[in-house]
């Protein structure tokens, strides 16, 4: 059993932004030389998320729009008394901050229409994504 750990560094540029990180994750799977295993993709932040969906520009815009509509961003939240970003934390907790992926024959098992996206919910900021690949 092999373990391969890497940290991706991402600079986001908008308050809400969906970034396709599929090629970076695939690159790490190649680097790991692990043929059969799993990948954990994890964001160690409380105002970001990770999702898998289709990389169609209209849909990515629609998901950004849905995130804005998901909860009332202008509401008065208790957390805003110390840090004006409660809505970002709430959406992050709804979407989730880790993904588990399967590696077979040295490649990610993604469906034809699936891509991996990092979701910024309180940008712009420097962010990290931790990747652990386990297998043989
Ligand atoms: Zn906060």
State the 10-residue block means of pLDDT for the chain, 136 residues long: 98 98 98 98 98 98 96 96 96 98 98 98 98 98
Own/partner long-range contacts of 53-61 (Cβ < 8 Å, ≥24 apart): 53/114, 53/115, 53/117, 54/113, 54/114, 54/115, 55/20, 55/22, 55/115, 55/117, 60/18, 60/117
- The pLDDT score that the predictor gives to residue 100 is 98
Domains of the chain (ranges; CATH) run: 2-135 (2.60.120.460)
- The pLDDT score that the predictor gives to residue 77 is 97
- The pLDDT score that the predictor gives to residue 129 is 98
Ligand 1 centroid–CA 79 distance in Å is: 7
Ligand 1 centroid–CA 34 distance in Å is: 37
- Tokens 């815009």 belong to residue: 61
Q: Report, in angstroms and rounded to the nearest whole number, the Rg of the chain calculated over CA atoms.
A: 16
Ligand 1 centroid–CA 98 distance in Å is: 19
Ligand 1 centroid–CA 15 distance in Å is: 14
């Amino acid at each position: 059993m092999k373990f391969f750990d890497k940290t991706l560094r991402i600079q986001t540029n908008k308050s809400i932004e969906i970034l396709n990180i599929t090629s970076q994750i695939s690159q790490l799977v190649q680097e790991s030389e692990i043929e059969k295993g799993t990948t954990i993709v994890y964001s160690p932040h409380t105002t970001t998320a990770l999702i898998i969906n289709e990389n169609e520009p209209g849909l990515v815009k629609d998901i950004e729009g849905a995130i804005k509509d998901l909860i009332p961003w202008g509401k008065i939240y208790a957390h805003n008394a110390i840090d004006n970003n409660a809505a970002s934390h709430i959406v992050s907790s709804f979407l989730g901050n880790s993904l588990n992926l399967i590696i077979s024959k040295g490649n990610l098992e993604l469906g034809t229409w699936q891509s991996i996206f990092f979701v910024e919910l309180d940008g712009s900021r420097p962010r990290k994504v931790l990747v652990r690949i386990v297998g043989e």
